[in-house]
Structure 1
Amino acid sequence: MTRVAAVDCGTNSIRLLVADVDPATGQLVDLDRRMTIVRLGQGVDKTGRLAPEALERTFAACRDYAAIIKELGAERLRFVATSASRDASNRDDFVRGVLDILGVEPEVVTGDEEAELSFTGATRELTGRDDLARPYLVVDIGGGSTEFVVGDDAVRAGRSVNIGCVRMTERHLVRDGKVTDPPTPDQITAMRADIEAALDLAEETVPLREARTLVGLAGSVTTVSAIAQNLPAYDAEAIHHSRVSYDRVREITESLLRSTHAERAAIPSMHPGRVDVIGAGALVLLSIMERVGASEVVVSEHDILDGIAFKAAEEGK
């Protein structure tokens, strides 16, 4: 097995996985898996630039991760950056900072590459399961974008569209610099229309309705699962491969969109960094389920981060 470190830097969070990986068997053994909310994409949709304070939050997390990577002795490190850094005019500042701290340049992947990594991470361990029909539709609801990938053992088609939970919140739920609590019906209607337009765009290249199993990834989806299970705290083991029905997703989404900041923050499994954006993320998930006619979503804790780790191990052979 090869010991690798994988970093996934998205619009809302930066995550680290150090693992022993055998690409031939699909075995991946976690040594350390963690997430830090840094909100790198703060204001990018409006300004087109990464904010100085967002960069510093991200670099602080990178310094912490560098110490862990060194301590655990990873043989290879791969750093992938997604939506926010693709969109930013000053992304060179981001690249230089990461290189100085971690010694590698972040790979600012395309939406298609991001989709393939997400699919690999989410489905490698599902191979051979009789209870999950194929093809899979893997949806990775991030902060700035959502990736859609349809495939069996390999990717058939993928598309990335700009309907992440942070982007939707900043675009539709902010007034006078503050998130509306709770959002108004007009705000929700406008956000829903934006999401539906993006789904139309995704469906131009990805046969969403051909999927037999919907697999949902990332923090918005896992948080909905935690709420559905009434977990007393976030529990990755209980969340991984849980199934949440359409009716339950709809109930939770409607509740989140009716609630105030204080009410959402009081949910035991809610990460503080998701309090303001979870309503938008849940609405993206609900809209996808309605579009494809999914009766449930299979929730995966394994996603693009695991895909990055598999690819790092394969490249190291």
Structure 2
Amino acid sequence: MMRTAAIDCGTNSIRLLIADIDETGALTDVERLMRVVRLGEGVDATGRLSDAALARTFTAAEEYAELIVRHGSPAVRFVATSASRDAENREDFMSGIRARLGVDPEVISGAEEAALSFTGAVSVLGAAEDETVLVIDLGGGSTEFVAGDSSGVLASRSMDMGCVRFTERFLHGDPPTRAEISAMEAEVRSLIAVAAADVPLGTVTTLVGVAGSITTVTAHALKLTEYIPERIHGAVLSTAEVQAASADLLHSDRARRASLPYMHPGRVDVIGAGALIWKCIVEAVAEATQGRVGGATASEHDILDGIALSVARRGK
């Protein structure tokens, strides 16, 4: 048994997983936490990480550092994604993390982000030999498209569209106006077409979605009375159910979204954009497969699990 610590720092949230991993690669959670720090706030417009966003992120890193020590100081891997890739002052971020956690943060490429997301998702859901799984990791600044089978990743593409980036770029009304939604949807569909040139959607047999926007849409469709990971993980929604839940979230005003019992406070402002991106992807896969894939599976296991597993492999 090996204990590892994985930290995923994205555009919207920073998450920690401390886990025990056995000889078969099975992972058991010791701690799994998320703090919404909105590191990528304003990056799309300014190209810089703001002082306030850095301060929020460093506070969360200090909390995580204490937990890692409390649980025996296991090997740590800190992975940073879209917002850090885009920021011209990312060295300020990297030096601040190094000072607090004693590790060098890895600002990974979109391709590696996709591979880690795929590993994390299929580590629990699995993939049959004759199955091509498309994993969608819908983050705050980017969305990863990664197709693979039981042998591993076959193709991937990272696109600069995410719930924070596209909320800031397109959705300003409360609720968003029809014109704002139309403009965003046109851009999303254009970017899906670009991704599909590298990741052929028509070959997919199973669609899996990971990360908070997708699990929140799933919770909304299931009409949960609170956020229950066990109910969300592995839940299969039809295309029609995704469309209905996404449209309802997108057209709700902020007060109604905030009142939903499963809505994380840090996701209230950006869930509309996340829901619209997810709806468009599910529709695109259904169309490309001529209805063979008429829905999607939600996974609570994602890039964070992939990072933890990668630490274990390094330690062998």
Q: Under a length normalisation based on structure 2, what TM-score does the superposition of the two structures give?
A: 0.96
Kindly state the Cα deviation for residue 128 of structure 1 after the two structures are TM-superposed. 6.2
Structure-1 residue corresponding to 2:258? 265
Q: Is the 8 A contact 1:115 1:147 kept in 2?
A: yes
* 1:129 Cα offset (Å): 6.2
Q: In the alignment, which residue of structure 2 is the partner of 1:172? A: 170
The answer to whether the Cα contact below 8 Å between 1:18 and 1:74 also exists between their aligned partners in 2 is no
Write the mapping of 1:198-217 to structure 2, written as runs, cut at 5 A.
198-217=191-210
Report the counterpart of residue 19 of structure 2 in structure 1: 19
Residue 282 (structure 2) aligns with? 289
Whether 1:222 aligns to 2:228 is no
State the distance in 1 between where 2:258 and 2:63 align: 26
- In the aligned structure 1, how far is the partner of 2:105 from the partner of 2:31? 20
SS at match of 1:7: strand
Shift in Å at residue 126 of structure 1?
Answer: 2.6
Structure 1 residue 252, shift from structure 2 partner: 1.2
Cα 1:299–1:96 change in 2 (3 A) is same
The 5 Å alignment of 1:91-130 reads 91-127=90-126
2-structure distance, mates of 1:256, 1:31: 33
* 1:47 maps onto 2:46 in alignment: yes
In terms of mean alpha carbon deviation, does 65-74 or 54-63 score higher? Answer: 65-74
Aligned to 2:225: 232
Q: Does the alignment pair 1:137 with 2:130?
A: no
Aligned partner letter, 2:194: L
Counterpart in the other structure of 1:36: 35
Deviation at residue 127 of structure 1 after TM alignment: 2.9
- SS of the residue corresponding to residue 35 of structure 1 reads strand
Retained in 1: the 8 A contact 2:68–2:74? Answer: no
Unpaired stretches in structure 1, ≥5 consecutive residues:
175-179
Counterparts in 2 of 1:128 and 1:146: CA distance versus 1, 3 Å: closer
Q: Deviations over 1:267-294 (max 9, x none)?
A: 1100011111111101111100111104
- Give the CA RMSD over aligned residues: 1.2
Q: Map Cα deviations across residues 11-33 of structure 1 (whole Å, 9 max, x no partner).
A: 000000000013x5230000000
- C-alpha displacement at 1:40, in angstroms? 0.2
Q: Structure 2: which amino acid aligns with 1:249?
A: V
SS in 2 for 1:204: helix
Alignment-derived partner of residue 154 in structure 2: 156
User: TM-score, with normalisation over the residues of structure 1?
Assistant: 0.95
Which consecutive unaligned segments of at least 5 residues does structure 2 have? 287-292
Partners of 1:26 and 1:125 within 8 A in 2? no
Which residue in 1 is equivalent to 2:273?
Answer: 280
SS of 2:135's equivalent in the other structure is strand
Structure 1 residue ranges, 4+ long, deviating more than 6 angstroms after superposition: none
The whole-number CA distance in structure 1 between the counterparts of 2:86 and 2:201 is 26
Using the TM superposition, give the Cα deviation of residue 304 of structure 1 relative to its aligned residue in structure 2, in angstroms. 0.2
Q: Is the 8 A contact 2:127 2:133 kept in 1?
A: no
Contact 2:128–2:149 (8 Å) recurs in 1: no
Deviation per CA, 1:138-179: give whole Å up to 9, x if none: 0000000000000002000001001101111000013xxxxx
Equivalents in 2 of 1:93, 1:160: separation in Å? 25
Q: What code does the residue aligned with 2:193 have?
A: D
Deviation for aligned residue 1:134: 1.3
1:253 matches 2:251: no
Q: Which amino acid aligns with 2:246?
A: T
**Contact kept? 1:142, 1:218, Cα under 8 Å:** yes
> Aligned residue for 2:290?
none
CA contact (8 A) 2:54 2:93 kept: yes
Amino acid at match of 1:158: S
- Mapped to 2, the partners of 1:100 and 1:184 lie a distance apart of 44
Which residue of structure 2 lines up, in the alignment, with residue 67 of structure 1?
A: 66
Amino acid at match of 1:251: A
Task: Measure, in 1, the Cα distance between the counterparts of 2:134 and 2:128.
Answer: 15
Q: Which one-letter code corresponds to 2:263 in the other structure?
A: M
Matched with 1:177 is: none
Secondary structure of the structure 1 residue equivalent to 2:198: coil
What letter corresponds to residue 279 of structure 2 in structure 1? L
Q: Percent identity?
A: 55
Rounded Cα–Cα distance in structure 1 between residues aligned with 2:309 and 2:19: 10
CA distance in 1, matches of 2:236, 2:139: 20
